[in-house]
């Protein structure tokens, strides 16, 4: 009779741990899906709010249906952007764009903002520089401590000659768990360890703070999957 309370308490603890593990497993599955849909819905509403007010009422479906159509602003944005792209391919469009940029270049503050945003857009959308080349390891913040970084390009301009180096790489060192912020480093190629893992796998390792370790090339050939290094 004396063991029954202990058994009951033990069963309750097992039920609690099982429920907690099930909940955490559900969070891992549900949270990314919900966040993805939330971000998509947020972007759609943002674009709708920016572009729908500029659409004349006679061309707006909500005028006839009585309700707003989610995503209508996105369609307007895509059509408008494609139209501008087609226009600037012609001689008249190029001249019009050049005239507009000449006007912007005469505005001190607006000129700096516009040129910076234009350079970023051209870099991101350029086919030759659309993504990082390789993932690598670099000793940071001191010798003996290694961090994951991404190789951007070969260092050009005056930087390498000023440092007395002939072969340097420009790398981006991301922060964890937010890889959108980080540091631009110029490092001699000989001081880097180029990794076999893809840029996407290295990004997962950074975002997960080291909890998800990509398999090696031999493990991939053997059919292994990424390993979750978090102890249960």
Query: At residue 216, does pLDDT exceed 60?
Result: yes
Type and span of the H or E element at 8: helix 3-51
Q: Is the pLDDT of residue 208 over 60?
A: yes
Q: In this model, does residue 220 exceed pLDDT 80?
A: no
Prediction pTM value: 0.50
| Residue listed under structure tokens 């945003």 | 117
Q: How sure is the predictor about 59, in pLDDT bands with cuts at 50, 70 and 90? A: confident
Rounded Cα gap, residues 152 and 184, in angstroms: 9
Nearest alpha carbon to residue 48 among 37, 29, 36, 61: 61
Question: What residues does each domain of the chain span?
Answer: 134-228
Cα 217 from Cα 96, distance rounded (Å): 52
What pLDDT does 232 receive?
Answer: 43
For residues 223 and 51, the model is more confident at: 51
Query: pLDDT tens digits, residue range 143-159?
Result: 999 999 999 989 988 89
Residue 125: pLDDT above 70?
no
Question: H or E segment at 121?
Answer: helix 108-125
Tell me what the mean pLDDT of segment 92-114 comes to: 84
- CA dist 24 and 33 (Å) reads 15
Query: Percentage of the chain with pLDDT > 90?
Result: 21
Higher pLDDT, 227 or 21: 21
* Model pLDDT, residue 137: 95
pLDDT at site 181:
86
pLDDT in tens, 168-207: 999 999 988 888 789 999 999 999 999 998 888 898 888 8
Of the listed ranges 50-54, 71-75, 85-89, the least confidently predicted one is 85-89
1 pLDDT above the threshold of 50: no
- 65 pLDDT above the threshold of 90: no
């Amino acid at each position: 009779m004396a063991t029954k309370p202990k058994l009951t308490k033990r069963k309750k603890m097992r039920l609690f741990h099982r429920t907690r593990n099930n909940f955490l497993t559900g969070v891992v599955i549900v949270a990314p899906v919900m966040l993805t849909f939330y971000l998509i819905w947020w972007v759609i509403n943002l674009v709708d709010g920016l572009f729908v007010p500029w659409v004349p009422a006679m061309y707006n479906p909500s005028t006839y249906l009585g309700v707003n159509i989610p995503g209508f602003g996105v369609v307007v944005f895509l059509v408008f952007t494609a139209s501008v792209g087609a226009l600037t391919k012609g001689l008249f469009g190029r001249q019009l764009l050049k005239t507009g940029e000449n006007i912007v270049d005469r505005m001190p503050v607006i000129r700096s903002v516009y040129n910076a945003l234009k350079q970023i857009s051209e870099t991101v959308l350029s086919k030759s520089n659309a993504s990082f080349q390789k993932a690598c390891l670099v000793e940071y913040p001191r010798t003996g401590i290694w961090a994951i970084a991404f190789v951007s390009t070969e260092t050009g301009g005056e930087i390498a000659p000023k440092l007395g180096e002939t072969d340097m790489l420009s790398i981006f060192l991301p922060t964890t768990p937010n890889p959108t912020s980080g540091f631009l480093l110029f490092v001699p190629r000989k001081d880097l360890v180029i990794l076999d893992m893809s840029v996407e796998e290295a990004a997962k390792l950074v975002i997960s703070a080291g909890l998800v370790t990509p398999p090696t090339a031999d493990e991939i050939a053997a059919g292994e999957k990424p390993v979750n290094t978090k102890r249960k």
